[in-house]
Structure 1
Amino acid sequence: MSTADKATDLQALHAAPELLRVVNVWDAITAKVVSDIPGTKALATASHGIAASRGYEDGENIPRDEMIAEVGLIARQTSLPVSADLEAGYGDPGGTVARAIGVGIVGANLEDQMKPLADAVKAVEAAVAAAQKEGVDFVLNARTDAFLKVSDPSEALEEAIERGRAYLDAGASNFFVPGKLDESQWGELVSALGERKVNMIGIPGSISQEAAQRIGLARISFGPWSQNTALTALAELAERAYDGGGLAEGVRKLN
């Protein structure tokens, strides 16, 4: 499948009635393992996971060249569409999206970091324009940090709705709201922005996939929690080994 075809496929997966389930990956072997699991329809990277695996703190501390190289390596491991977490675009959202498309990426998260709304909208517009110039129906997942940075839940919801409308109007395909929202809050977002337009992250205490499907969310991904799951297993192996034990039952050889 060409890059353009993968982008079209990813758009269709987000618009489909069934909730899109995406397990985030951070390097070549995790991309291969997740791709080979029956039921995997698309991959997504997590900027936190990629940065951590290379010794950087999250938050655009990893150089853009390294991030683009890593997401390109991931895209080469699979025939499935891959969406990349490109943080806030590294000061050049249009250029960053164009470079990502050049290495086979067909969708991206773009953070607003709660910048002034006008500036955040310009970033979305630049990313959308870059994808259009490349001739790719790119899945731009515009992210707001409203529920992470606004302490009052009602104010956070109001802010998220305003930003979601602005980003979708600017050409974003979907709207991503990390945070631990309840069913009522997700329902209000979907009511305001439309079904199959809002994406969530699966975190401890988040709503169930059944509820997300019923409410009309488009996608659930797991961000850094997929890496934390793997690291938990590694830490537990070390703990058992130091206590005189060994491998846990059921460990599979996947590489």
Structure 2
Amino acid sequence: MSKVDTFRALHHGRLPGDPLVLPGPWDAASARALVDAGFPALATPSAGIAASLGYADGSTPADEMFSVVARITRAVDVPVSADVEDGYGLAPKELVERLLEAGAVGCNLEDSGGGALKDPRQHAERLAEVRAAAGDRLFLNARVDTFTCGDGDPERAIERAALYVAAGADCVYPIGAPANVLPLLRAGIQGPLNAYAKLDGESPSPAELGELGATRVTFGPWLQRRATAALGEIAQGL
């Protein structure tokens, strides 16, 4: 079975309370540490990689982002999905080629830019073009940004999700959706549902998010931020 087939299979047949947990490495060393801890797949966070390279979130040049993804995939044997933000303006065919060259088995593509939501039908058309260029070689995670850039209306998120699934998305990611909205989203969205977890000691655990309807759980830049904070504490002790 290929890595992308393995990755796709990990999203199906999940029991409530047992979502696929995908921690986010920001470099080769963190990727190896996560695999050594037993995780069967990884999902890079664009914000975490940006911070590790000294950029603000959303400001990482495409070449540098793909370079980090390639170093991560070379460092581990498990499938790695890449957050490539809104695709950096690359044509679908080139975007697919860059992802495959970097060794990624999937990607996040967000439906906002510059803090504003994109037209959902136009974004769905782009997703369909990416799907056509990738065939079954990539797992497409369509991010829905209505809770971060829009009015937070769950029905609008469900409408966008339906367009993206119809365009060929394998998974939908309503980032920032409140935990109490997940059951409504789960009822209205076909296929795997990605939830965003925070490592703040107060937010629901991955298992709790799974009970609410999440198929998979990702953490954005939280692991990188926690690691940086821990390094700060060590530095203070020195």
TM value normalised by structure 2: 0.90
Shift of 1:58: 1.4
Identify the residue that residue 86 of structure 2 maps to in structure 1: 88
Q: How does 1:39-188 map to 2 (within 5 A)?
A: 40-59=39-58, 61-92=59-90, 94=92, 95-113=94-112, 114-132=117-135, 136=137, 138-151=138-151, 153=152, 156-183=153-180, 185-188=181-184
Q: How does 1:197-216 map to 2 (within 5 A)?
A: 197-203=192-198, 204=200, 205-216=202-213
Q: Deviations over 1:164-196 (max 9, x none)?
A: 11101100000011115123x1001110113x5
For 1:33 and 1:210, locate their aligned partners in 2 and report how far apart those are by CA, in whole Å: 22
Identify the residue that residue 249 of structure 1 maps to in structure 2: none
For the structure 1 residues 7 and 93, does the alpha-carbon distance in structure 2 shift closer, same or farther, using more than 3 Å as the test?
farther
Identify the residue that residue 220 of structure 1 maps to in structure 2: 217
Are the equivalent residues in 2 in contact too, given 1:181–1:207 (CA < 8 A)?
A: no
Shift of 1:121: 0.9
Q: Which amino acid aligns with 1:190?
A: R
Q: What are structure 2's unaligned runs of at least 5 residues?
A: none
Are the equivalent residues in 2 in contact too, given 1:181–1:206 (CA < 8 A)?
A: no
Q: Which amino acid aligns with 1:146?
A: T
For the structure 1 residues 98 and 77, does the alpha-carbon distance in structure 2 shift closer, same or farther, using more than 3 Å as the test?
same
Shift of 1:115: 0.5
Worse-superposed segment, 100-109 or 206-215: 206-215
For the structure 1 residues 232 and 105, does the alpha-carbon distance in structure 2 shift closer, same or farther, using more than 3 Å as the test?
same
For the structure 1 residues 15 and 27, does the alpha-carbon distance in structure 2 shift closer, same or farther, using more than 3 Å as the test?
same
Q: 1:7 aligns with which of 4, 11, 16?
A: 4
Q: Which amino acid aligns with 2:188?
A: A
Q: Which amino acid aligns with 1:226?
A: L
Worse-superposed segment, 212-221 or 72-81: 212-221
Are the equivalent residues in 2 in contact too, given 1:180–1:206 (CA < 8 A)?
A: no
Shift of 1:157: 0.9
For the structure 1 residues 169 and 223, does the alpha-carbon distance in structure 2 shift closer, same or farther, using more than 3 Å as the test?
same
Identify the residue that residue 193 of structure 1 maps to in structure 2: 189
Secondary structure of the residue aligned to 2:75 is coil
For 1:215 and 1:225, locate their aligned partners in 2 and report how far apart those are by CA, in whole Å: 21
Q: What are structure 1's unaligned runs of at least 5 residues?
A: 242-255
Count of residues in correspondence between the two structures = 228
| Percent identical | 38
Are the equivalent residues in 1 in contact too, given 2:179–2:209 (CA < 8 A)?
A: no
For 2:174 and 2:235, locate their aligned partners in 1 and report how far apart those are by CA, in whole Å: 35
TM value normalised by structure 1: 0.84
* Deviation beyond 6 Å, 4+ runs, structure 1: none
Identify the residue that residue 248 of structure 1 maps to in structure 2: none
